[in-house]
Structure 1
Amino acid sequence: MKKIKILIIEDDAEISRLTAMYLEVEGFESKIVDDGEKALATIKHYLPDLIILDLMLPGMTGIEICKQSRAFYQGPILVLTACDDDVSEVSLLKLGADDFLTKPLKPHVLVARIEALMRRSKPNMPIDVHTGHSKIHIDQASQQVIFEEKELILTSSEYEMLVLLERNIGNIVSRADCCQALRGINYDFNDRSIDMRISGLRKKLNDDHMPYKIITTVRNKGYMLFNG
């Protein structure tokens, strides 16, 4: 199956690196451009299926890139904005953007937006079907979680943690990735709050006594959602 190609136009090296890493874990192909002047040429050469575009860039602003690229690029553009950017949602849509997210990014929200945009723009393009935990059902639209046919009442941070673990079911999720889901993509991961959130999830999943059967701890590596 052909991978969906995503062009990340972002001058913050750490944000772009972490975004690309997370997208590639999710099965996307990605490329990074860190300068507005190079962006238009890269769009023409790389032919991405979707563009993630930061507004504040050196060389040429994201607004100009969005306007000029629409002369030749028809794919979806997902704009990244800071909370204090003086650009409204209506203005972004009029300039040619299809959707926008504010920083700091939450990885599972980013992936959900990308999948929604791809379904709208290329309804016949196959997108990998995610197979989740047999006893856990997550409705990302309503953020409702059902476990063993009962609704779980989770905090927002517990929900974000569970989504990350469930999307990577059977694979180890590092503490760094957990922190990105918990606090945003640009977060320093030296924090014991991760253990608190995992402990809270285990209690609500009736898995708070060793040996853990649902969320396992992989020593010195991270956590894994086990579908046993």
Structure 2
Amino acid sequence: MSCKILLVEDDKEIAQLTQMYLEAEGYQVTAIGDGSEALPMIQNMKPDLVILDLMLPGKSGIDICRDAREFYSGMIIILTAAEDEMSEVSLLKLGADDYLMKPVRGHILVARIEALQRRYQHQSAIDKHGSLYDAFGIVINSDRQTAYYQQKPLNLTNSEFEILQVLVEHSGTTVSREHCCRLARGIEYCSTNRSIDMRVSGLRKKLIQAEVHSLTIKTIRNQGYRLVGNQS
């Protein structure tokens, strides 16, 4: 899958190595090192993906990500150092689709990009047609990216919405952890990765807070998750 990438990284060595690796994989990459140049470049270049370092001269990656989301609907991956005081939740709320800790391994970065491309292509196909899904009182509008329970909106993150949507679409059947991982903001699947479990746990809490009592998200050991109705 072709992909036009804007890489915003002020460390010249990291930028050069990352650009070389991605171009060897067939991606078209433009690299810049000054954060103040990022927003004009995004507007003019219209990249499919922005790979964005958090700590940048001129304008921080935090501000770039937030401001870009005012006009940019493409993919954003954040590169963050271990000492950066930004949680996963904070990064996602800023508008990032995924994030990676430095030092970034090339094959992991490519796997994340491919996962994001699949998710965006899937979402684009849905957006063209629009669909409604319902189960146990929950109604999902995939066109508007909204979820309701008894006509009341559910306050979900993008990842939680995507997981709930696939569970509602396949209600009563088991959805694999791998499938959920690939939907949830490009998480790279790994049998020992607990990121998806944390997201499902967060979704369960949101449903409890919204007083959704008609269903349960069951964990099926060594398989995945299943949306089932509760007996009244």
Deviations 1:160-184 (CA, angstroms, capped at 9, x unpaired): xxxxxxxxxxxxxxxxxxxxxxxxx
Shift of 1:76: 1.1
Pair 1:52 & 2:100 matched: no
Q: How many residues align?
A: 129
User: What residue ranges of structure 2 are gaps of 5+ in the alignment?
Assistant: 125-187, 192-232
TM-score (norm 1): 0.54
Q: Match for residue 84 of structure 1?
A: 83
Aligned pair partner of 2:189 in 141, 150, 155 = 141
Deviations 1:11-58 (CA, angstroms, capped at 9, x unpaired): 001101110100011111100011011000000111100110000000
Matched ranges for 1:16-27 at <5 A: 16-27=15-26
Deviations 1:133-184 (CA, angstroms, capped at 9, x unpaired): xxxxxxx8348xxxxxxxxxxxxxxxxxxxxxxxxxxxxxxxxxxxxxxxxx
The CA distance in 1 between the partners of 2:122 and 2:29, in whole Å, is 21
- Structure with greater strand share of residues: 2
Deviations 1:47-77 (CA, angstroms, capped at 9, x unpaired): 1001100000000000000000001100110
The CA distance in 2 between the partners of 1:41 and 1:3, in whole Å, is 23
Q: Match for residue 115 of structure 1?
A: 114
TM-score (norm 2): 0.53
* SS across alignment from 1:122: helix
* SS across alignment from 1:14: helix
The CA distance in 1 between the partners of 2:89 and 2:97, in whole Å, is 11
Over the residues paired in the alignment, what is the CA RMSD in angstroms?
1.9
Q: Relative to structure 1, is the Cα distance of residues 87 and 124 closer, same or farther in structure 2, using a 3 angstrom cutoff?
A: closer
The CA distance in 1 between the partners of 2:2 and 2:104, in whole Å, is 22
The CA distance in 2 between the partners of 1:83 and 1:29, in whole Å, is 28
Q: Match for residue 61 of structure 1?
A: 60
The AA in structure 1 aligned to 2:73 is Q
The CA distance in 2 between the partners of 1:73 and 1:104, in whole Å, is 27
The AA in structure 2 aligned to 1:141 is Y
The CA distance in 2 between the partners of 1:33 and 1:42, in whole Å, is 9
Matched ranges for 1:175-194 at <5 A: none
Q: Relative to structure 1, is the Cα distance of residues 57 and 119 closer, same or farther in structure 2, using a 3 angstrom cutoff?
A: same
The CA distance in 2 between the partners of 1:81 and 1:41, in whole Å, is 22
The CA distance in 2 between the partners of 1:70 and 1:8, in whole Å, is 17
User: What residue ranges of structure 1 are gaps of 5+ in the alignment?
Assistant: 126-139, 144-228
The CA distance in 2 between the partners of 1:92 and 1:142, in whole Å, is 21
The CA distance in 2 between the partners of 1:142 and 1:86, in whole Å, is 25
